[in-house]
Every structure is written in C-alpha cells, then in structure tokens.
Amino acid sequence: MKLNKKTAMIVSFALGSVMFATTAMAQVLTKSGYDQLKDSVKYTAENATTKLTSYTGDMSIIIKDNGNVVYSEDSLSKVDVAKGSKETVTKGLDGLKKTEEYNYSDSNESIYKNSTNNIYNTTTFTTPHKTTISQNPFKEEGATDMEKIADAVVGNLKDAVVVTQNSDGSKTLSGSLSEAQIPSIINAVVSLESKSAFGNISNNPNNESSIPKITNDVFVKDVKGNMVTTKDGLIQTVLGTGVISGKDAKGVEHKLTFELLAKMTDVNSTKVNKPDLTGKKVEKNVEQDHSKLTNPEKYLGKYKADILIEKDAKFVKIGERFVDITALDNKGVSGRYYEEYVKGFEQYAVDKKDFKFSSTFEKGQFNGKVKASNFTGNISIDQGSATIYFNQNGNSGGTLNSNGNYSKVFK
C-alpha cells in the first residue's frame, strides 16, 4: 500500500512521538533513586522559598550516647511565604537542662523570648526588611560546586536509594548503609567534623552539655533513611537515623545515635499570627538602618588621634592629629586635616600636614578615597560611634599611630 504525502507525514509524526515518549519514559525509569531524592530536595527548597504561600515545618532531633538521651530539640515553625512572616517555638533538652525559645519575625519587627528571663525582646525595623523568610541553598554562590563534590563523595552509594511508587502517586525513597558499605572518605569527613563540632562544645567552660567529646577512632557504623514525597515531588516527611562510633580522650568508647524526624504540613493553609504582648514583660529596641546615615549632622565636628614616638623604652606623646568634618551626607564627606606638635618636639613638625579634603562614598557604604595635595588615603565613618577611620596609603600618617582611629573631641 502506498501512502500519500499527507498520510506519511502523520505516521512519521506519530512514530516520532511514540519514540520520544518511550525514550523519556526510559529516562524516568532509569533515573537513580539518589537523583530522584536530589530532585525532591531541590523541588521542595524552590517551592518553600518562592511558590508556596504558607506551610508548617516540624523538626525533631535526638542524640543518644550509648543508648541514653543526651540532647534533643523540637522546632515547630509556621511560615507565611507570601507575607514574609514566621513564628517558631523551639524546645530542647541538653542533659538535665531544659530550654525553650520563641521567635517571631515579619518585615517590620522581630520578637524573641527564651525560658531564662521570660522577657519578650522586640526589635522594630526603621526600614522594612525585604521579606526573605529563607534562602534557597541551591541558588547560593558555590552551590553547584558543592553539589558536584557531594556527588563525587557519594559515588556508588547512589544505588543504595530505593524508590517505591505508591498507589496515590506519592513516592517513598529509602536507603540503608552498613559499616562495610561506607567509603573511607566519608568516614574521614565525619571524623574531622565530629572532632570540630563536639570539641567546641566540650571545650567551652560555660557549656554544660552532656554530649561527649569524641576524638579518636571516629567512624560511621550505619545510616538509615526514609523520605515520603507527594506525586509532584514535594517532601512530606523525612525520617533518618545514624550511628557514629568513637572514643573520648580517656579511651572510653561512645556510640552516638542521631535520630531525625521532619514533617511539612498545612501547605498553603498555615496561619501565622503576631503575638499579643499585652500584659507581658517587654524590652523594646529599634534597629538602626545601616543602609543610610541617620542624622548625619551628629558626625560633624573635630576628631583627634595622638602622635607617639618611642623614647627611652617608653611611649611619648609629641602631638595630635585632627580631622575636622565640616560637611557630611549619604554621598560623601569633606573637611580639613591638620597636625599640632608639643613644644620641644618641633623637629617632628618639619613635614607636618595641613590640607582640605573631600571624598565620595562607595555605593552602599560610608567609606571612600581621600585625595589632596601630596596625600592619598581613606576615610570611613563608624556608624553609631563617635569615631572615624582616616589613614594615608602606605601608613596611617604617624610614627606609631598606625591604626588610623580618631575619636570625637567634645567640649
């Protein structure tokens, strides 16, 4: 049978579509469980930071030492992505010490309270904060390189993630690794990080943590994990356990068991309410807006720094340097620099400087380059402080006054 041109085009298109669909399906079916796990994590991170209107996150962490609970923390967060508000209640146990913290934030204010003093600390923002409840870690600088490193470290373990397709379209991703399956490079990384993390806890004299400091023979004994996602790939629950073995400085062996449970619920239906502080103990603060100089006139005036020399194994003051700021706004600063010397040290005043200067601030900052006759340097305004920084390129314009810090002169 001979096909006409139109029929041949239709059949060719149909066959091409079938081939494309078959190839695409094969790619999905052959995609490793590890890659599907990564896809779900990325999909959830993207949605939780940009696409969902709200959600509730519940995370619980428990650490056991030789079977005994030495640390636990449960954090419940309600997040309104659309409005940029977040409310978190965190309860913890470190040995016998119980802790509880409350945090609330939106674009205009933050509120914090802990169980120590039962006082609500509020901070009002003079300029509304950009509503960035959380950042997508996969869009931060260096994220791609870190992902490549993680892929290389995981290596053949990618095959350890098993995917089960559930009847409602959701997926269950699970995996289990024994001591013999864990590569030496992972044990090396875990050993290094464990010594750093647990060492910092135990070396702090003000910390009464019950988590032991393991320093020797650190390795991972086993890891188990289970993740359930929606049919679209949004993570619903994560359950993971891991055991790290090691010895402390006295040679006592410890098996630290880590248990993690995380859940995302009430997607697009979570309500975040600002707390009513009526009748509560409240300490109010106002956050300074560091993006601009508020009341720049307060920085006008004279600043000074001592000129010192070393004589007979002692520091001797031979004069003073002055920076007199006569004009200042969010764009730049101008004024006069001059030096005065103590009687008896006139020989040091041969090359003393006295000049007027101006400087344009760098964008978004309050420092800039200073150019004047026979002088190049920098000036910086220390916000919220009665000090400035003024120095000459190559040195700070003085024998021993090398830090360039000037304090305001008060009459």
pLDDT for 389 equals: 92
Say yes or no to pLDDT of 10 above 90. Answer: no
Q: What global pTM score does this model have?
A: 0.63
Nearest alpha-carbon partner for 48 in 77, 89, 88: 77
Nearest alpha-carbon partner for 225 in 265, 276, 172: 172
Number of other CB atoms surrounding residue 304 within 10 Å: 15
Mean predicted confidence (pLDDT) in 364-381: 86
Say yes or no to pLDDT of 204 above 50. Answer: no
β partners of residue 46 = none
pLDDT for 198 equals: 65
**Interval 109-168: pLDDT, tens:** 999 998 888 899 999 987 777 655 667 777 777 778 877 877 776 666 677 788 888 889
Say yes or no to pLDDT of 8 above 90. Answer: no
pLDDT for 78 equals: 95
pLDDT > 90 in the chain, percent? 34
Mean predicted confidence (pLDDT) in 240-255: 89
Residues 245 and 218 sit within 8 Å (Cβ to Cβ): yes
- Phi–psi pair at 344, nearest 5 degrees: 105, -10
Give the DSSP letter of residue 311.
E
Structure tokens at 163: 């995917």
pLDDT band at 2 (very low <50, low <70, confident <90, very high): very low
pLDDT for 88 equals: 95
pLDDT for 19 equals: 43
Say whether 103 sits in a helix, a strand or coil: strand
Residues 400 and 309 sit within 8 Å (Cβ to Cβ): yes
- Which position has the higher pLDDT, 397 or 276? 276
Sign of the CA dihedral 152, 153, 155, 157?
negative
CA distance 80 to 83: 6
pLDDT for 42 equals: 87
Say yes or no to pLDDT of 239 above 60. Answer: yes
**Interval 305-355: pLDDT, tens:** 999 888 888 888 999 999 999 999 989 999 999 999 998 888 888 888 899
| Residue type, position 155, single letter | G
Mean pLDDT of the chain: 82
pLDDT for 200 equals: 56
pLDDT for 194 equals: 73
Distances (CA, A) of 227 to 211, 242, 392: 27, 15, 60
pLDDT for 32 equals: 76
Mean predicted confidence (pLDDT) in 3-9: 44
Give the DSSP letter of residue 362.
P
Mean predicted confidence (pLDDT) in 248-253: 88
